[in-house]
Amino acid sequence: MSAANAVPSPGRTLRVLALALCSSPLFVLVAVLVVLPPSEGRLTLPVALGVLALVAAAFALAQAVGYRAAPLPPGLGEAEARRRSVATYQTLMILRFVVTEVPVILGIALAFTLDEGPWPFVLAVVAGVPSMLFHVLVLRSTVDRVRAGLESGGARSYLDEALAA
């Protein structure tokens, strides 16, 4: 089989997806800066604190609920355990992305509804993207947390092997 016909591994697919999801706010930021020039408006302290509080709350919520995986049932074969583990990991990754993206989306809304120019959105992107990267990238810590939940019932998940390639 040629390399052009090879199916990418689940780990590689999830890594590409994570980078695409986390980079999207940067592209939207460029568009917003064209529509709302930085010379317009000024970020006030209450709005800045509100945006930062939203980012912190989203980070904490992703920490609290974004890694809760139901245990795999005992007796699964390796192929089925891998399939279910990757599906669960991907579902939880998207959940963590959605939760950490909410402050960024609200930042866009604030930029267009308040007289503070693009600055609420700029702050939401600057503070929110690192939070998104922390929770969405396929990192050892995120894999370990999901794997622990999957294997908490005694079944082996094979998540590390499925995502390693």
pLDDT at res. 4: 57
Question: Which secondary-structure segment (H or E) carries 148?
Answer: helix 140-150
| Structural domain boundaries in the chain | 10-163
List b or e across 28-62, with b for residues whose CB sees 16 or more CB atoms inside 10 angstroms: bbeebeeebeeeebebeeebeebbbebbeebbeeb
Q: What angle do CA 118, 108, 68 make, to 5 degrees?
A: 135
* Amino acid (1-letter code) at residue 77: G
Condensed to tens digits (0 to 9), the pLDDT of residues 11-67 reads 999 999 999 999 999 999 999 999 999 988 899 999 999 999 999 999 999 999 999
Distance CA 145, CA 138 (A): 11
Identify how many contiguous H helices and E strands the chain contains and give both numbers: 6, 0
Q: Which residue has the tokens 């669960």?
A: 88
Element (H, E) at 57: helix 45-65
Token pair of 121 as six digits: 């959105």
Question: Using an 8 Å Cβ cutoff, are 145 and 67 in contact?
Answer: yes
> pLDDT at position 65, please?
97
Tell me the pTM.
Answer: 0.91
Would you place residue 105 in the very low, low, confident or very high pLDDT band (cuts 50, 70, 90)?
Answer: very high
φ, ψ dihedrals at 57, nearest 5°: -65, -40
Averaged pLDDT score across all residues of the chain: 94
